[in-house]
């Protein structure tokens, strides 16, 4: 893992190649983190993979997080490894929720997804890209072209958090059923489950028990 001065040097070099790519750095809890502009995520990942002396060529993990009620609400986390040096670097991109009242367009018109479901009902299933295009979801570029193993990890982030990855070769649910409605790891997703029926709910209790 780069130390704090080393992390700052990496950030400066990335911004020297593409100004504004890295917006902040963090070095805490044993993690060196580059916080990057979500619109330039591919620039950052490509630089870290291809630049001599960096060569973070293995994407160990890609996962999403929901920080509701914080804004920006969502984040994508990329854990990169340089295998020869056994060195880890964390890249983080923050995403606004376009469906939030504070970020949504002023128009109150509701777009309708295939099957007649309003577009604010997450997880509407339809005909592939046509269905996705109707949903008001956060977006970021897919990094599958850089790290092919990201294909399934991005699908999982889409499946559970409703984050669309532009340019993904096959963006669809991976664990939940195709007709499942909702993004179950979002913090505002309703909790559910089967009610538990206990014995005292079925029989009249003796008076001494009361």
46: exposed, middle or buried (Cβ count in 10 Å: 0-12, 13-18, 19+)? middle
Contacting residues for 133 by C-beta, under 8 A, at least 6 apart = none
Of the listed ranges 43-52, 53-62, 102-111, 155-164, the one predicted with least confidence: 102-111
Q: What is the CA radius of gyration of the chain?
A: 22
The band of 128, judged by pLDDT with boundaries at 50, 70 and 90, is very low
Query: pTM here?
Result: 0.78
Position 154 in a domain: yes
Supply the pLDDT for residue 114. 30
State the total domains in the chain. Answer: 1
Does residue 4 sit in helix, strand or coil?
A: helix
**66 strand-pairing partners:** 74
In a domain, 175, yes or no: no
pLDDT, residue 113, reads 34
Host domain of residue 67: 4-97+109-166
């Amino acid at each position: 893992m780069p130390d704090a001065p080393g992390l700052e040097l990496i950030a400066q070099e990335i911004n020297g190649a593409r100004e504004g790519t890295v917006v902040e750095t963090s070095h805490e809890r044993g993690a060196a983190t580059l916080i990057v502009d979500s619109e330039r995520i591919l620039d950052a990942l490509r630089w870290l993979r291809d630049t001599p002396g960096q060569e973070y060529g293995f994407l160990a993990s890609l996962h999403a997080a929901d920080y509701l009620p914080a804004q920006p609400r969502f984040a994508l986390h990329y854990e990169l490894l340089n295998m020869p040096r056994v060195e880890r670097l964390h890249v983080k991109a923050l995403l606004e929720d376009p469906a939030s009242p504070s970020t949504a367009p002023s128009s109150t018109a509701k777009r309708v997804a295939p099957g007649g479901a309003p577009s604010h009902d997450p997880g509407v299933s339809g005909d592939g890209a046509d269905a996705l295009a109707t949903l008001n979801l956060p977006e970021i570029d897919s990094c599958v072209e850089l790290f092919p193993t990201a294909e399934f990890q991005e699908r999982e982030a889409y499946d559970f958090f409703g984050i669309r990855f532009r340019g993904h070769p096959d963006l669809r649910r991976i664990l939940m059923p195709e007709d499942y409605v909702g993004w179950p790891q979002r913090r505002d997703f309703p909790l559910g489950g089967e009610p538990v029926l206990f014995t005292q709910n079925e029989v009249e209790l003796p008076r001494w028990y009361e």
